[in-house]
Amino acid sequence: DRLKLTEHTLVILSSDNGPVLDDGYDDGANEQLGGHKPAGPLRAGKYSIFDGGTRVPFIVRWPDQVKSGVSPALVSQVDLAASFAALTGQKLNPVDVPDSENVLLALLGKSETGRASLVEYDQGKERALRAGDWKFVFPGTTSDGLGPWTGVKIPAPGFLFDLANDPGETNNLTKAHPE
């Protein structure tokens, strides 16, 4: 503001994924939760296959280019490389950033579409696939994080969630949508 750069400066605020409680410190974090939900309405936390462990906060501010609002676009921090390259007119070698997609129009609020799909979590047998508002969690037993989120069993055929209507991942839709 002082340098009069605010209107022409792109600022992105983001963070690591998911809250953690039982991280090995004897700090009473689990016991002192009370009614607090560290991941808000999202299920679980750090090291979890559920959105409480995989989603990250992501705020874009560029007053001269981006209007205020909330976007439904699916983006990943890994997309920043390809998106910044597009913004600055640079060429990237796909070998250097094979998973990065150019989602610049979504970042700038000019499109509500980001990437089509995203592997949210992948630790051997623990993985989920996100496509639009849909999320499929593959069957298996997850390590599922620290604290109260350990040892969640995902039975076959897996879990299917409609995140637009169920952000807390409470309603498994695999029987209603076997396809």
Answer yes or no: are the C-beta atoms of 161 and 135 closer than 8 Å: yes
pTM, 2 dp: 0.84
* pLDDT at position 122: 60
Answer yes or no: are the C-beta atoms of 167 and 50 closer than 8 Å: no
pLDDT digits over 7-59, tens only?
Answer: 999 999 999 888 887 777 888 887 888 888 888 899 888 778 888 888 988 99
* pLDDT at position 104: 97
Q: Is the pLDDT of residue 86 over 60?
A: yes
Residue 168, SS3 per DSSP: coil
* pLDDT at position 124: 61
